[in-house]
């Protein structure tokens, strides 16, 4: 009797990806699993075999290529043989199926259970972030026990091979039709047991402690940057390697400067006399004050660029710029004399009808007249 097309068996197209084939296989394998079809076990076993054979052919690149070219003939006369029976289910997709059926998969040894990574949030001023700084931080964590050096026993000879799993870390258990490997209940996957636990760590191999670390913050860091300290996370179980510590940077808002990458921005307020006549004004930078020349007739919004007065690049030697944005202030708390002087100045503007003392004002009202005219 002719065999059914493998693609049709799994209900997928010939262009289906490996993940689509795997998904279809898992669904059908659970549907036809003999333990879930006790009323019609023989037919379910036959369907299960068909599904398994189709999956093993279509997920093997060489077998799939041969099947696509020659069909079932590629595996006849012992050339490549589709997988029959129920042996050899270990690994791959069946780890997931075991979890679906029995609530667990293979036993996993804790011997290589690396410690957890940790995160420490650090807040810096803009000056610290720009120049770089060394900070001392305190991190509560698990560290390797200094008495037993992580082995969890009083002496090395107290660590012996587990009699239940004989060092494998897993035991085989029957679950209906299958034999399933699970973590050894005696050694919990280690493969070894401790006869005489360390009194300081009670056999854990690690203890809780607050570590004091020195962190070097490089110049140019910004909010969102992370610094990795390898091996400074939690100590692993049973002497396994420690995880890493990630220092997460947050830069506080500055009273004067706003940061944009490596560039800085600030507002420079000036009075109308300086804006009109021009002159010198001192402006702040991260490295001290500098003198800035304000040309005559400077307007609000005028921007001056001070090269190399920004922040150093984190990944290079370049330094950003400082952009100074001028704000012309309207004077307040005027004396009587100052008011008289301003009134006199205003009257002189009105008298000089052909002058262009306020070019923006004149341009605006010209546009208004045109709009309504």
Tell me the per-residue pLDDT of 17-36, one tens digit each, with 9 for 90 and over: 888 888 888 888 888 887 77
Instruction: With CA atoms as reference, report the closest residue to 227 among 236, 215, 239.
Output: 215
Q: Which ranges constitute the DSSP H helices of the chain? A: 6-10, 18-32, 41-58, 61-70, 93-102, 126-131, 272-277, 336-351, 359-372
Shared-domain flag, residues 154 and 51: no
- Tell me the backbone φ, ψ of residue 214, rounded to 5 degrees: -100, 125
Residue 112 lies inside a defined structural domain of this protein: no
Domain boundaries, position 89: 6-102
- Using CA atoms, how far apart are residues 218 and 36, in angstroms rounded to an integer? 61
Residue 111 located in a structural domain: no
CA angle (336, 337, 340) in 5-degree steps:
90
User: What pLDDT was estimated at residue 15?
Assistant: 85
Nearest-angstrom CA–CA distance, 124 and 10: 58
**How many Å apart are CA 35 and CA 304, to the nearest integer?**
79
Say if residue 312's pLDDT is above 70: yes
Region 276-294: mean pLDDT is 95
Mean pLDDT of 218-244: 91
Of 251, 275, 298, the last residue of a domain is 251
The verdict on residue 52 lying in a domain is yes
Integer Cα distance of 67 and 73 in angstroms:
8
How many whole angstroms separate alpha carbon 142 and alpha carbon 132? Answer: 29
Q: How confident is the model at residue 94 (pLDDT cuts 50, 70, 90)?
A: very low
361 and 316 in one domain?
no
Residues 194 and 209 in one domain: yes
91 domain residue, yes or no: yes
The answer to whether position 109 is within a domain reads no
Question: Considering its fold, how many domains does the chain have in total?
Answer: 4
Q: Are residues 85 and 123 in the same domain?
A: no
**pLDDT band of 76, cuts 50, 70, 90:** low
Are 159 and 203 spatial neighbours (Cβ–Cβ below 8 Å)?
A: no
User: What pLDDT does residue 196 have?
Assistant: 87
Whether residue 152 sits in one domain with residue 80:
no
């Amino acid at each position: 009797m002719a065999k059914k097309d493998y693609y049709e068996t799994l209900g997928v197209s010939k262009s289906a990806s490996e993940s689509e084939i795997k998904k279809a296989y898992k669904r059908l394998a659970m549907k036809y699993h003999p333990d879930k079809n006790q009323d019609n076990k023989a037919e379910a076993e036959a369907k299960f075999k068909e599904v398994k054979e189709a999956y093993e052919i279509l997920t093997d690149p060489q077998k799939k290529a041969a099947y696509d070219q020659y069909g079932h003939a590629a595996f006849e006369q012992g050339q490549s043989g589709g997988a029959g029976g129920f042996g050899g289910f270990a690994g791959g997709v069946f780890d997931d199926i075991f979890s679906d059926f029995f609530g667990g998969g293979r036993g996993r040894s804790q011997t290589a259970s690396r410690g957890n990574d940790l995160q420490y949030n650090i807040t810096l001023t803009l000056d610290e972030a720009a120049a770089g700084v060394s900070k001392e931080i305190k991190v509560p964590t698990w560290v390797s026990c200094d008495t037993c050096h992580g082995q969890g026993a009083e002496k090395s000879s107290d660590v012996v091979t587990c009699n239940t799993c004989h060092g494998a870390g897993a035991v085989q258990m029957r679950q209906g039709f299958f034999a399933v490997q699970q973590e050894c209940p005696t050694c919990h996957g280690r493969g070894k047991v401790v006869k005489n636990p360390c009194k300081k760590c009670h056999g854990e191999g690690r203890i809780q402690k607050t570590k004091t670390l020195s962190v070097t913050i490089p110049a140019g860091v910004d909010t969102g940057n992370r610094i990795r300290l390898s091996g400074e996370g939690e100590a692993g179980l049973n002497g396994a390697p420690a995880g890493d510590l990630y220092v997460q940077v947050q830069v506080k808002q500055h009273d004067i400067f706003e940061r944009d990458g490596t560039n800085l921005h600030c507002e420079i307020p000036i009075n109308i006399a300086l804006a009109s006549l021009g002159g010198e004004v001192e402006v702040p930078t991260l490295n001290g004050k500098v003198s800035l020349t304000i040309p005559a007739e400077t307007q609000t919004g005028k921007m001056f660029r001070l090269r190399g007065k920004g922040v150093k690049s984190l990944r290079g030697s370049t330094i950003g710029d400082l952009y100074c944005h001028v704000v012309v202030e309207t004077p307040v708390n005027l004396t009587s004399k100052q008011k008289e002087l301003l009134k006199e100045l205003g009257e002189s503007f009105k008298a000089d009808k052909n002058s262009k003392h306020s070019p923006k004002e004149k341009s605006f009202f010209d546009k208004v007249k045109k709009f309504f005219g």
